[in-house]
A and B are shown apart, each in its own frame.
Chain A
């Protein structure tokens, strides 16, 4: 017979099991902390013993210093970290915002109204297999190396997931609900607005999250190629100057801002979903 605590049912042993679980959770937490510290220590040692030279990697202790310096020191790339971050953020959010405002309604309409689908589908199908990054050269030829080209590419990148997810979301509307609305005399538009759109909301949000991700990634690519400001420009210049510290600070800033934006979006989604549940 097995004597595992899983099978225990008396209240006393349940208590024991609970504290045992907490202890296990604490132990597991420790493993994570130790693993992270070990990672940083190994990184530090690799640099200290110059297994990887200072022109390729700098230790984490210096990264922190560079990060703080970069907040008040525009050299060597000509702008403060927060200025680069702001340039990138405003561009990404502009492209992303436009893509959501156009892409979500378009996807919903395509999913609901056949003529819209027939009209837009060919354009969309032809453009979709080409990664947004492949548009960078032609966008630069069309719109120059300014803000417009980058905004256009970010828009393209963020647009596709918005449309696809809204389209799929509204196509998956439960047909029973649609028929109920029809039976009670709702017009097609009313059914679309009151049944189709709300039931597509979860999928729409998934699409918005995906498109934020795509916008941020594409922004970095666009700034690597053609920019005079922004985090992508900063890391690209770091490479030209062989300054790994600048590159790593830039990469961490990109990662942090990306994570923050997705976190914010998740919060908005949670609030939106809960307010809907109340009403």
Chain B
């Protein structure tokens, strides 16, 4: 137990240092964007946060399907942890996008399809967490949350393709698109480093949250 705690603590410090390093590099080292200037640096937080949101909700989807199939409580815990962390990162993506919007579009919030569908996706996963909170019996909670986790994922492709299906202010994909990315190589390298650091932070947070959920379940079973 002590060894595991030490590993968790040290890996946590490493991940925090990694995130701090790429954020600092995005703020100071990488040159500013030619047209947007310094405000573009928000991209190194906004895009990775949005990516981690997608990743987290995909993990909820996969674990939900797995739980309905195998009834393994570890998958249920993983889905719960991933949903919590996903909600946090999606909130961060919306907040950073909003600041960017104020600087570039002149307003904090525009009823753009990407913004609106992201807000709806966030609400769906907050509802998922609410659902989990209101069902106390462990196995029933796992079943109902898994079913909702499957249908809630339908929001993710809706968010991703909203910029292609509707006209809006939000720019179309620059990296995840057919053909070469439409972004400078230095900026792209910084962006990918940020995505990697945020993904590691996600993995660490989910690991810790799953561990905590497991301890809680054990405590409830003992009671």
- The reply to whether chain A is a binding partner of chain B is no
Partner-B contacts on A (CB < 8 A): none
